[in-house]
Structure 1
Amino acid sequence: MKIEVRLTDKADAYIIKNMYPLYLHDLSGHYGLIPGHTPNKHGIFEDGDHYITLNDQYDVQNIWWEHSKSLYPYLITADDRPAGFALIATPPYCSQGVDYFVSDFFILQPFRGNGVAEYAIRTIFERFTGKWEVFTNPSQRNVIGQKFWRRTVSHYTKGNYEEGLGSTFDGEKLIFKFSNSSL
């Protein structure tokens, strides 16, 4: 399988935007009936009932293509088909003392379990040198995600990373921190 990871621009932003509702639906399975992780009255996975169509939701994501010096929207393809995306943030869109933050990472179901996800995120880690941070949901509903990040970060850093529960702008999370400056 040929896997590619490429930075997108406004011309192909629609591909990530098309997958984004699937990502939010996928996340809802990790959170259950927690407000903000269920659809609004119009069936859109966004806070607030003012999002009536998926087109309304598209505008929320435009920030990723408006700040090209600090936000990096990557499209992941497998055999020239969209397989997922990674949204990487830098200051001021991440925690103090962090250079790079994996804001969102998603692989479509047909491409899971065959190395696409790990190859893609390792490729992105290699593109940026510095202090990294990754959050994931710490609940039992997200054991697969926790195992993925633990295994991937551990392999990438050869075990040289920090892991712990912590409070974030998005609530309590399992947080992975590492630096690839000396790897």
Structure 2
Amino acid sequence: MTVSLKPISIDQKHILENLYSLYLHDLSEFNTTLDISSNGNFEFDSFDLLWENEGLTPYFLINDASIVGFILLLERPFLKKEYDYSINDIFILKKYRRKGFAKALLMKLFKQKTGRYFIIELETNRPAVSFWKRMFIDLDIHFEEEKKIIDNEPCLIQSFQISNHTQKA
């Protein structure tokens, strides 16, 4: 497995939009406010902001030469002072799930970008909650967790520190 992170350029926006629609489709199982648009896709209404605001960085997850997913990383100056990064969205195409791609992606990301992170999951999204708990164990990451209502949805917020010393070989 040769996994890499590749920043998504504005000219690849249409590819990310297609993948993001699949991501929102998966997420709609856990969020009652998500629904398809009149053209039959799940749409993110502020998509252009990803290339207009510094600190919003989408990446493709590449295995060999194939796109297997994406991650949306928030960082400064977009984030507040308390955190350096937030993994806002992570999506792996279904045929690549449970094969170690997400773990390899996170290991690569954390090696490149150390600092204070947070992630947010819908409490009802049991697969995401389980995924993150498993990643914390597998990567030996200590995290703090709190429950909070965000946009009228019960959420879990996990925060953690990544340093060169927290990396597993």
Equivalences for 1:1-183 in 2 at 5 Å? Answer: 1-31=1-31, 34-35=32-33, 37-46=34-43, 60-67=46-53, 69-94=54-79, 97-139=82-124, 142-156=125-139, 158-168=140-150, 171-181=153-163, 182-183=165-166
Verify the 8 A CA contact 1:15 1:82 in the aligned structure 2: no
Verify the 8 A CA contact 2:148 2:156 in the aligned structure 1: yes
**Aligned amino acid, residue 5 of structure 1:** L
Deviations 1:82-124 (A, max 9, x none): 1110000124544551210111111111110100111112211
Shift in alpha-carbon separation, 1:133–1:87, aligned structure 2, 3 A: same
Give the aligned length: 165
Q: Percent of pairs identical after alignment?
A: 28
> Scaled by the length of structure 2, what TM-score is found?
0.84
CA distance in 1, matches of 2:122, 2:80: 17
Which runs of 5 or more structure 1 residues have no equivalent in the other structure? Answer: 47-56
**Aligned amino acid, residue 150 of structure 1:** K
**Aligned amino acid, residue 131 of structure 2:** F
Verify the 8 A CA contact 2:84 2:116 in the aligned structure 1: yes
Which runs of 5 or more structure 2 residues have no equivalent in the other structure? Answer: none
* DSSP-derived class of the 1:152 partner: helix
Verify the 8 A CA contact 2:22 2:42 in the aligned structure 1: no
**Aligned amino acid, residue 82 of structure 1:** I
Higher percent of residues as helix: 1
Higher percent of residues as strand: 2
1:170 Cα deviation (Å)?
Answer: 7.0
